[in-house]
């Protein structure tokens, strides 16, 4: 197997969401062609490196096709895929390159001169997710949470707060503090980094436990409740 990489500048694996990755990959497949002989393997550091394994017998043909795209030639499908990849990078405010087996550039994607810099604000706020990493040896300790959509939430804490948080590793927590937020190209706000000042451990309960708790407080009937779904939600929290 030979290697080929789509390198996305100004990005990283933990900032590339699954949804966005899913938008890049189909166009990359169309650009390369020979879909039965091309296999996506991983995303690694070095900006964001989308790694592809190519069966050796098809590798020269695929590399030649990529080079033709650079010259404005090649199939209509590969030209359309190249434009679609460039549009995605324009939206993300970045550029990129296709690297060959020796990690030499075969095809470049320009970074738009008109790409807007993300709007950043600094304010107090909170985020919640699954606490999966606490580590570091400096006075400020890196903390990582996994958000609801699988994204990484970058936080930091003092040694004292990190020690307390460590007792709740792999649990759902809500952390609050002073953070930097960026507006995405879709108009949503995403966390860049949060300095944790306080936290809460979130309770979780399955449906059976919620029903048992309802029964334990008087055997409430769904038909007698104004908002049974709201009640169940409150009991879970």
Residue 32: φ, ψ to 5°: -80, -35
Q: What is the pLDDT of residue 91?
A: 85
Q: What is the pLDDT of residue 93?
A: 84
Q: What is the pLDDT of residue 209?
A: 55
Q: What is the pLDDT of residue 199?
A: 97
Q: What is the pLDDT of residue 150?
A: 80
The answer to whether 174 touches 198, Cβ cutoff 8 Å, is no
Cα–Cα distance between 105 and 109 in angstroms, integer? 10
Radius of gyration of the chain (CA): 24
Q: What is the pLDDT of residue 15?
A: 84
CA angle 106, 110, 113 (to 5 degrees): 170
The answer to whether 178 touches 123, Cβ cutoff 8 Å, is yes
pTM: 0.51
Q: What is the pLDDT of residue 218?
A: 55
Residue 13, token pair as written in the block: 């694996």
Domains defined for the chain, CATH in brackets: 2-109 (3.30.70), 120-201 (2.40.50.140), 207-236 (no CATH)
Q: What is the pLDDT of residue 178?
A: 95
Residue with tokens 């499908």: 77
Q: What is the pLDDT of residue 179?
A: 95
Selection from 55, 81, 51, 52 nearest residue 66 by Cα: 81
Q: What is the mean pLDDT of each run of 10 residues along the chain (237 residues)?
A: 92 88 94 90 91 94 89 85 92 90 91 69 94 88 90 92 96 96 74 95 66 53 48 48
Q: What is the pLDDT of residue 233?
A: 47
């Amino acid at each position: 197997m030979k290697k080929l990489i789509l390198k996305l500048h100004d990005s990283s694996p933990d900032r590339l969401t699954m949804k966005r990755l899913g938008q890049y990959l189909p166009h990359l497949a169309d650009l390369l062609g020979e879909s039965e002989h091309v296999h996506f393997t991983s995303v690694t550091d070095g900006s964001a490196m989308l790694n592809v394994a190519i069966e050796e017998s098809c590798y020269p043909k695929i590399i030649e096709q990529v080079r033709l795209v650079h010259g404005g030639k090649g199939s209509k499908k590969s030209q359309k895929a190249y434009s679609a990849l460039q549009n995605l990078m324009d939206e993300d405010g970045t550029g990129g390159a296709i690297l060959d087996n020796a990690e030499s550039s075969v095809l470049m994607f320009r970074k738009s001169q008109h790409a807007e810099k993300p709007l950043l604000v600094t304010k107090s706020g909170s985020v919640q997710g699954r606490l999966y990493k606490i580590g570091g040896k400096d006075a400020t300790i890196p903390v990582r949470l996994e958000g609801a959509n699988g994204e990484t939430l970058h936080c930091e804490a003092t040694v004292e707060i990190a020690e307390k948080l460590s007792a709740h590793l792999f649990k759902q927590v809500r952390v609050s503090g002073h953070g930097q937020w960026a507006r995405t190209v879709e108009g949503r706000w995403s966390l860049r980094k949060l300095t944790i000042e306080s936290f809460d451990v979130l309770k979780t309960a399955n449906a059976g436990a919620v029903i048992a708790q309802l029964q334990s407080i008087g055997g409430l009937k769904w038909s007698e409740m104004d908002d049974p779904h709201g009640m169940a939600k409150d009991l879970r929290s």
